[in-house]
């Protein structure tokens, strides 16, 4: 098992390194990093200082090492717009994004999984068909359409909720609702199929045949086994959550990192984009790592492997 | 790796239950897709107005008004005409990108199966990299660095979902090569090109086509998302996503500008999901 | 007469259980095999599953590279695996599979597949190709209309006929058959074996026939080699081996073959575990199961040595210097 964790950890580090390299290569390909990171109208002496500090006249491999070193010191360059360090701009936006994504994830898990499991245990019922219908809808409606329709209904027509901004907790309701829908659909669908697959296994039939109560069969045999594929899907969902935040923050003018990304991309504020890229990639890698570890702990086959060593 | 593949491809087949009750849904999906393809191909002929033709005297006219079935936008341009053109652009991008990603992924998968070892590890690292960045974020970053253009957009979208094809084609090629017909043909003296193109590719084609029906709607959503954010298809060209994006500003006064394309996006992704699911059962029972 | 196929000291190792903390253990599936096959001759290779007979067959055919040792075809060493000369040589040597359905492409008609070796090696095209395919199908007893069928539309026996026709397409000089009938119904087995024998005699093809089934081997082979845990323990002409088996393992195998009209008598039942190549016993690999084992059998490996003209066996009991101890 140690082996498994070490491999995962190694791959995670490698991936982050790869993302950094990607950012480095793309940055060099797109032009002179001095004028890009400092802006076209930066004074010549600060450009010269920048070139000297980043060693832009050195061979590429040296530049690469210097680049890695500055990133290790959390130095991502300065924003073109207000000359403040990119990392500060990004970090001050993180809480706002978490305020949307964390409740969203909790709602997705709290609604999606029970709905899927319920549907699987009551196949062919009205509830089952309803869950299927809703999950298809969740999958096919793009989040920007969902968001706009919610604004149209609840903010414009009914006037119950604000349509944008971040002044009170009511402002968070529509964005969270918009982001939750798709994930609930995906989770419900996966939990349902994972559960159905598990319920068809011979050991479940055995458990029922030996007279275990329905409740025990579901809680002690079916759910633990179905949890393994579901956990894998949660890893994928963290990614779609971040992507969803970009769209939703943009619709609801929510000042999180998603909106910062859109603004920075439109202004070609590359120091900030690069910093965001690395922060998001790190968050994703850490989330995937957690999923992998949870997976390792949940799957007895991996545990057994560890014991064999 | 393969266990994951079956999990991911298994999920949408839940629609199956629904379909047995209402096989009409698939027929409906096919009809809708037919209509979309027809619209895309004959866009120039069926479009009532030119896309950029403005009529400032008839701005923000509501739907079902004479001469403008779906109304007009803030510059008095006919929404229906723009919708027809957008369907063409969005479908063309999604179609091109789907083919590109299928080609790219399948090639990598076959290379991994043929050479194993280092090549396989490289492809795994590449897949890890892609998994570490949500595709939307990756696309935004690339567009930020290089600016948006149609070619870049299709090329970028062509990287979406390649790992799915790579995983499938690698797995199937390895299993065919280990014991089965592929190793038999190698033993007859065939070159690898013949083994892969004449034997393995036709055998995995149906599975790959089914995977395309999974990727296609996702690419449509991705492109429309980027265009909605103003970073995909650029004016004067229009796509479904960018119509919704611009329509958003007139959400209160003229919701029809945005509702039409939003409806088309939904119906198209829904139809492809339904039809793809049905195809999966028809063509390839092994994928589940 | 020069030998068509010569194997010298063939060894094939597979990596066993592997992990980060332990060294991978090497399993010697084939462990030092010497063999000679003359043109037009039929050699049977017999052994239990796990004896390494299939691995040996694949090395003789050159589709698996030996870990040690060498295979000479026509006096020339086998070219590097998957190289152009290796591919060209495939026209001379062909393989008949245990599972014909798995060896056929389910998306091509059988006529296309029978003609494929001719296409690959550029031996025939167009009308000539069609003619040759028709001829091959007639030879193996397939109807012409079956050429348009797909593999899953045929029976097991018919599929094996397709494989044989495909193998014969390039008029090879060597045919390696790996358990060609064990997946077939008993009633079909004899037909396919007879077909193979007829074709072998008519075309003078040299054949290596691998099987766990002595009855089948006896029916078709000139010479038989018996394998146990990766080594040949006895090799003799087919008649000799059935009339007078020398090695205790061969004796046990032969005693279990029923003879029509007779009750099975003096059947030797092997005791102990079936052989596992990952845990090879010291000395003679067969000694834990051998009723006549001596002390020396647990200590040293008996060499394969001539016991009579054209006859070899590897057993300490046959060695005159130890024979006294047996009594």
Is the pLDDT assigned to residue A226 strictly greater than 70? yes
Q: Longest Cα pair distance anywhere in chain B, in angstroms? A: 76
8 Å CB contact between B224 and B134: no
Quick check: is C327 in a domain? no
- Average pLDDT score over residue span B246-273: 84
Q: Which chains does A contact via 3+ CB–CB distances below 8 A? A: B, C
A:C CB pairs within 8 Å: 4
In this structure, the number of other CB atoms found within 10 A of the CB of residue A306 comes to 13
Q: Which domains does chain A have, with CATH numbers?
A: 86-308 (1.10.3720.10)
- For an interface test with B, which of A28, A144, A194 has the most B Cβ atoms less than 10 Å from its Cβ? A144
- For an interface test with A, which of B21, B229, B249, B270 has the most A Cβ atoms less than 10 Å from its Cβ? B229
B286 pLDDT tier (thresholds 50, 70, 90): very low
Quick check: is C137 in a domain? yes
- Average pLDDT score over residue span C86-94: 91
3-state secondary structure string, B101-135?
HHHHHHHHHHHHHHHCHHHHHHHHHHHHHHHHCCH
Is the pLDDT assigned to residue B4 strictly greater than 60? no
Number of domains comprising chain C: 1
The lowest-confidence range among A152-166, C100-114, C281-295 is A152-166
A83 pLDDT tier (thresholds 50, 70, 90): confident
Q: Are strands C223-228 and C231-237 parallel, antiparallel or unpaired?
A: antiparallel
B131 pLDDT tier (thresholds 50, 70, 90): confident
CA distance B6 to A165: 42
Hey, CA dihedral for B235, B223, B277, A129, is it positive or negative?
Answer: negative
Is the pLDDT assigned to residue B245 strictly greater than 70? yes
Q: What CATH number does the domain containing B145 carry? A: 1.10.3720.10
pLDDT digits (tens, 9 = 90+) for A269-292: 777 888 888 888 888 888 888 887
pLDDT at A303: 57
Number of domains comprising chain B: 1
8 Å CB contact between C80 and C68: no
- Taking the Cβ of residue B4 and every Cβ of chain A, the question of whether any pair is shorter than 8 Å is answered with yes
Q: Which chains does C contact via 3+ CB–CB distances below 8 A? A: A, B
Closest CB to C88: pick one of B185, B186, B189.
Answer: B189
User: Using a CB-CB distance cutoff of 8 angstroms, which residues of chain C are in contact with residue A309?
Assistant: 19, 21
Q: Rounded to a whole number, what is the distance in Å from the CA of A158 to chain B's nearest CA? A: 12
pLDDT digits (tens, 9 = 90+) for A142-196: 888 888 888 888 887 787 877 777 777 778 888 888 888 888 888 888 888 888 8
8 Å CB contact between C160 and C182: no
Is the pLDDT assigned to residue C320 strictly greater than 60? yes
Question: Residue C77: enclosing H or E segment and its boundaries?
Answer: strand C76-77
ipTM exceeds 0.85, yes or no: no
- Average pLDDT score over residue span B248-254: 79
pLDDT digits (tens, 9 = 90+) for C239-277: 888 888 889 888 888 888 776 666 666 677 777 767 777
Q: Which residues contact A149 (CB under 8 A, 6 or more apart)?
A: B262
Is the pLDDT assigned to residue C144 strictly greater than 80? yes
- Average pLDDT score over residue span C56-82: 89
pLDDT at A294: 79
3-state secondary structure string, C130-189?
HHHHHHHHHHCCCCHHHHHCCHHHCCHHHHHHHHHHHHHCCCCCEEEEECCCCCCCHHHH
pLDDT digits (tens, 9 = 90+) for B158-176: 888 888 888 888 888 888 8
Q: Rounded to a whole number, what is the distance in Å from the CA of C25 to chain A's nearest CA? A: 15
- For an interface test with A, which of B136, B260, B273 has the most A Cβ atoms less than 10 Å from its Cβ? B136
Q: Which residues contact A213 (CB under 8 A, 6 or more apart)?
A: none
C56 pLDDT tier (thresholds 50, 70, 90): very high
Q: Rounded to a whole number, what is the distance in Å from the CA of B119 to chain A's nearest CA? A: 16
C326 pLDDT tier (thresholds 50, 70, 90): very low
pLDDT at A32: 64
The residue of chain B nearest to residue C167, with distances taken between CA atoms, is B188
Quick check: is C211 in a domain? yes
Question: Residue B256: enclosing H or E segment and its boundaries?
Answer: helix B256-283
- Average pLDDT score over residue span A229-234: 78
- Taking the Cβ of residue A309 and every Cβ of chain C, the question of whether any pair is shorter than 8 Å is answered with yes
Is the pLDDT assigned to residue C166 strictly greater than 90? yes
Domain that holds residue B205: 40-283
pLDDT at C44: 93
Size of chain C, expressed as the number of residues it contains: 327
Q: What CATH number does the domain containing C48 carry? A: 3.40.50.300
Domain that holds residue C306: 5-16+25-322
Q: Rounded to a whole number, what is the distance in Å from the CA of A4 to chain C's nearest CA? A: 10
pLDDT digits (tens, 9 = 90+) for B79-118: 888 888 888 888 888 889 999 999 999 999 899 888 877 8
């Amino acid at each position: 098992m140690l082996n498994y964790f070490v491999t995962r950890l190694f791959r995670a580090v490698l991936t982050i390194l790869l993302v950094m390299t990607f950012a480095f290569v793309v940055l060099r390909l797109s032009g002179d990093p001095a004028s890009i990171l400092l802006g076209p109208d930066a004074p010549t002496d600060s450009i010269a200082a920048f070139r000297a500090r980043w060693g832009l006249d050195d061979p590429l491999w040296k530049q690469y090492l210097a680049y890695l070193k500055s990133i290790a010191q959390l130095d991502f360059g300065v924003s073109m717009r207000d000359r403040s360090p990119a990392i500060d701009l990004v970090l001050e936006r993180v809480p706002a994004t978490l305020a949307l994504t964390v409740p969203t994830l909790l709602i997705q898990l709290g609604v999606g999984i029970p709905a899927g499991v319920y549907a699987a245990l009551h196949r062919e019922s009205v509830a089952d068909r309803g869950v299927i219908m809703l999950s298809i809808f969740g999958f096919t409606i793009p989040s920007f359409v969902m968001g706009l329709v919610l604004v149209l209904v609840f903010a414009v027509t009914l006037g119950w909720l604000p349509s944008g901004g971040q002044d009170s907790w009511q402002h968070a309701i529509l964005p969270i609702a918009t982001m939750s829908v798709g994930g609930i659909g995906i989770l419900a669908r996966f939990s349902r199929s994972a559960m159905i697959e598990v319920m068809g296994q011979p050991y479940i039939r055995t458990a029922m045949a030996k007279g275990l109560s329905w409740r025990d069969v579901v809680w002690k045999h079916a759910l633990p086994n179905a949890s393994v594929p579901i956990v894998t899907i949660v890893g994928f969902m963290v990614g779609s959550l971040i992507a969803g935040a970009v769209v939703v923050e943009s619709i609801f003018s929510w000042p999180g990192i998603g909106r910062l990304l859109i603004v920075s991309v439109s202004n070609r504020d590359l120091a900030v984009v690069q910093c965001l890229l690395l922060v998001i990639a790190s968050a994703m890698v850490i989330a995937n790592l957690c999923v992998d570890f949870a997976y390792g702990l949940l799957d007895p086959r991996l545990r057994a492997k560890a014991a064999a060593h | 790796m393969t266990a994951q593949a079956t999990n991911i491809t298994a999920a949408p087949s839940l629609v199956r239950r629904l379909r047995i009750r209402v096989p009409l849904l698939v027929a409906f999906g096919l009809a809708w897709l037919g209509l979309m393809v027809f619209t895309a191909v004959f866009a120039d002929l069926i479009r009532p107005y030119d896309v950029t033709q403005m009529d400032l005297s008839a701005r923000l006219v509501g739907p079902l008004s004479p001469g403008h079935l779906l109304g007009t936008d803030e510059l008095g341009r006919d929404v229906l005409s723009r919708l027809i053109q957008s369907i063409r652009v969005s479908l063309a991008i999604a179609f091109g990108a789907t083919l590109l990603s299928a080609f790219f992924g399948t090639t990598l998968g076959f290379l991994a199966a043929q050479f194993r070892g280092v090549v396989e590890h490289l492809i795994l690292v590449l897949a890890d990299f892609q998994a570490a960045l949500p595709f939307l974020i990756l696309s935004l970053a690339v567009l930020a660095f290089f600016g948006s253009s149609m070619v870049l957009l299709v090329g970028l979208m062509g990287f979406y979902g390649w790992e799915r094809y790579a995983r499938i084609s690698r797995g199937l090629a390895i299993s065919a090569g280990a014991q089965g017909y592929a190793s038999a043909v190698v033993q007859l003296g065939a070159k690898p090109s013949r083994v892969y193109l004449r034997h393995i590719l036709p055998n995995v084609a149906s599975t790959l086509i089914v995977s395309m029906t999974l990727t296609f709607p996702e690419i449509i959503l991705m492109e429309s998302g980027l265009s909605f954010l103003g970073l995909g298809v650029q004016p004067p060209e229009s796509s479904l996503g960018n119509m919704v994006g611009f329509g958003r500003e007139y959400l209160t006064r003229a919701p029809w500008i945005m509702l039409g394309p939003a409806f088309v996006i939904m119906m198209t992704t829904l139809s492809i999901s339904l039809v793809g699911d049905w195809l999966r059962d028809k063509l390839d029972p092994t994928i589940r | 007469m020069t030998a068509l196929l010569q194997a010298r000291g063939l060894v094939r190792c597979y990596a066993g259980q592997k992990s980060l903390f332990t060294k991978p253990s090497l399993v010697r599936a084939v462990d030092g095999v010497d063999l000679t096959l003359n043109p037009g001759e039929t050699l049977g290779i017999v052994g239990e599953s796990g004896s390494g007979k299939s691995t040996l067959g694949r090395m003789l055919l050159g589709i698996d590279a030996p870990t040690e040792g060498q295979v000479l075809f026509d006096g020339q060493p086998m070219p590097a695996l998957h190289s152009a000369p290796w591919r060209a040589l495939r026209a001379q040597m062909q393989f008949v599979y245990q599972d014909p359905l798995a060896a056929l492409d389910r998306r091509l008609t059988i006529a296309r597949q029978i003609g494929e070796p001719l296409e690959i090696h550029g031996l025939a095209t167009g009308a000539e190709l069609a003619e040759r395919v028709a001829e091959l199908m007639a030879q193996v007893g397939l109807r012409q209309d079956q050429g348009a069928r797909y593999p899953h539309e045929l029976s097991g026996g018919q599929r094996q006929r397709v494989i044989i026709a495909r193998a014969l397409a390039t008029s090879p000089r060597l045919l390696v058959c790996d358990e060609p009938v064990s997946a077939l119904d008993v009633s079909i087995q004899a037909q396919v074996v007879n077909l193979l024998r007829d074709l072998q005699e008519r075309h003078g093809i040299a054949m290596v026939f691998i099987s766990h089934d002595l009855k089948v081997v006896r029916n078709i082979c000139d010479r038989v080699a018996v394998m146990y845990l990766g080594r040949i323990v006895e090799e003799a002409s087919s008649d000799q081996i059935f009339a007078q088996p020398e090695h205790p393992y061969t004796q046990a195998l032969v005693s279990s073959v029923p003879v029509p009209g007779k009750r099975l008598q003096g059947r030797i039942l092997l005791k102990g575990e079936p052989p596992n190549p990952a845990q090879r016993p010291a000395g003679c690999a067969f000694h834990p199961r051998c009723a006549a084992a001596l002390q020396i059998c647990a200590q040293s490996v008996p060499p394969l040595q001539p016991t009579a003209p054209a006859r070899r066996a590897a057993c300490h009991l046959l060695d005159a210097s130890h024979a006294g101890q047996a009594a």
